[in-house]
């Protein structure tokens, strides 16, 4: 059977948050800005035609995005013990940048931790534990090379701005023990709904990010952040085909992505 025949009747869910000026983001990164550089009527061609275009300025870790392995170091070392200074310059990274991320098209498992607790959205500052992940997985097997997403329901708060960013009350997410549980299953990539794939306690902000260290530096596992999972969580689907292909910005530590969930 041809691939497109196999996909006939499939449903596609867009897992990316819309990018707009003023959207919630980490204070550690430059904000997204977009403005029309040319408006219709600024220049009119002899035949009456006109075109508009824009200029876009953004950090690589704003909106739905993928973290490259070069994003985090520990004691000056990247994944595999590579000194960051060896591959880093003002032009970016010559290795482990987001342009080195191979597009992912494969099985994805969604672990709905919010459902485990009988809520649509986990409380602010809740730390996801290995027991939470075990219960969310149930009979689902996580295979090496899969993508694994952790559902907290937090994307439902996208329009709430400061609450979504969690600067005061924190955000739910995996703690270090849960990160090690995930890393032990050798996924190709992990992801979630918050601006940092981490448990962030109330008032702590992004002071330390142990889950990033465990995933990126110790395990070589890329992270997808700020995903829009609410519709997927509500669908009840827990395994599906994920298409993940961030912008190949040469030398960058991360880049925007528009993940697609293909549901049979």
- pLDDT, one tens digit per residue, over 2-20 is 788 878 888 999 999 999 9
pLDDT in tens, 167-225: 889 999 999 999 999 999 999 999 999 999 999 999 776 678 999 999 999 999 999 99
Structural domains in the chain, sorted by start = 3-18+60-263 (3.50.30.50)
- Yes or no: say if 58 and 21 are a contact pair by the CB < 8 Å rule: no
**CA angle (115 as vertex; 111, 117 as ends), nearest 5:** 115
Greater confidence (155 vs 4) lies with: 155
Q: And the tokens for 178?
A: 């849960």
Rounded CA-CA distance 157/61 in Å is 19
End-to-end Cα, the chain, rounded Å: 15
Count the neighbouring beta carbons within 10 Å of the beta carbon of residue 36. Answer: 11
pLDDT tens for 35-70 read 999 999 999 999 999 999 999 999 999 999 999 999
- Full-model pTM: 0.95
pLDDT of residue 68: 98
The C-alpha R_g of the chain, in whole angstroms, comes to 19
């Amino acid at each position: 059977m041809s691939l497109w025949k196999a996909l006939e009747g499939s449903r596609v869910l867009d897992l990316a948050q819309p990018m707009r000026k003023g959207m919630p983001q980490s204070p550690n990164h430059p904000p997204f800005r977009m403005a029309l550089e040319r408006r219709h009527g600024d220049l009119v061609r002899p035949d009456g035609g006109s075109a508009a275009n824009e200029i876009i300025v953004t950090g690589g870790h704003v909106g739905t995005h993928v973290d490259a392995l070069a994003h985090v170091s520990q004691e000056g070392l990247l994944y595999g013990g590579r000194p960051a200074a060896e591959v880093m310059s003002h032009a970016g990274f010559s290795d482990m940048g987001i342009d080195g991320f191979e597009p992912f098209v494969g099985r994805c498992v969604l672990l709905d931790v919010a459902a485990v607790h009988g809520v649509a959205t986990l409380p602010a500052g809740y730390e996801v534990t290995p027991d939470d992940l075990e219960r969310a997985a149930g009979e689902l097997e996580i295979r090496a090379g899969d993508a694994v997403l952790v559902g907290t329901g937090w994307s439902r708060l996208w329009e709430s701005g400061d609450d979504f960013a969690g600067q005061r009350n924190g955000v739910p997410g995996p703690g270090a023990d849960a990160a090690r549980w995930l890393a032990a299953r050798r996924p190709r990539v992990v992801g979630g709904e918050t601006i940092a794939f981490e448990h962030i306690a109330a008032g702590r902000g992004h002071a330390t990010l142990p889950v990033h260290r465990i995933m990126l530096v110790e395990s070589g596992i890329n992270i997808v952040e700020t995903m829009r999972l609410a519709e997927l969580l509500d669908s009840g689907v827990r395994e599906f085909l994920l298409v993940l292909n961030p912008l190949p910005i040469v030398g960058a530590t991360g880049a925007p992505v528009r993940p697609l969930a293909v549901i049979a």
